[in-house]
Amino acid sequence: MTAVAFKEACYSFAEAAAPYASIKDDAHYEEALALIENLLEEADDSLSDPLNVIIELLSHAIENYENSDEELATFEQHALEKPADLAMLRLLMAQHQLGTADLPEIGSKSMVSRVLSGERSLSKKHIAALSQRFHIDPGLFF
């Protein structure tokens, strides 16, 4: 690829990604959430998959929007305060630098996303498998 072609590709990408790179309203926020969910389903678990770069960019834009919106920030604060199983799961993910694709004990990336968003709950089987993997007492999830 020539420098000119690369530059044109960058401009095209920047133009297409602009509404999502810096989310300014609820409509683009909802679109970004739907887009990232679709990309999570399609992306390979390898570092070389270019979709993972886009997922990372969208994640940062979503996080920035959520942190700048007082209502969303309050909601996130309450969500992180409880329940214990989600707080423990988030802590383990942060400590071990894990993403949604790194938890086969729960299932697919989509399933992990649903658990993290509160749409689904961790089952006893999930908790037992996570406890075994991380060598922790299952009681820490309760």
4-24: pLDDT as tens digits: 999 998 889 888 888 888 898
Asked if the model's pLDDT at residue 77 lies above 80, the reply is no
pLDDT band at 122 (very low <50, low <70, confident <90, very high): very high
pLDDT band at 59 (very low <50, low <70, confident <90, very high): very high
Are 35 and 99 part of one and the same domain?
no
Asked if the model's pLDDT at residue 82 lies above 70, the reply is no
Q: Looking up tokens 């969208």, which residue turns up?
A: 58
| Average pLDDT in the chain | 87
Q: Is 134 helix (H, G, I), strand (E, B) or coil?
A: helix
The domain boundary residue, chosen from 44, 61, 77: 77
Of 56, 133, 126, the closest CA to residue 95 belongs to 133
pTM for this entry: 0.49
CATH code, domain carrying 128: 1.10.260.40
Are 73 and 5 part of one and the same domain?
yes
Per the CB < 8 A criterion, the answer to whether 60 and 68 are in contact is no
Asked if the model's pLDDT at residue 75 lies above 70, the reply is yes
Q: CA angle 135-129-137, nearest 5°?
A: 40
| Number of domain units in the chain | 2
User: Range of 25's domain?
Assistant: 1-77
Q: Give mean pLDDT, residues 65-80.
A: 77
pLDDT band at 73 (very low <50, low <70, confident <90, very high): confident
Are 2 and 66 part of one and the same domain?
yes
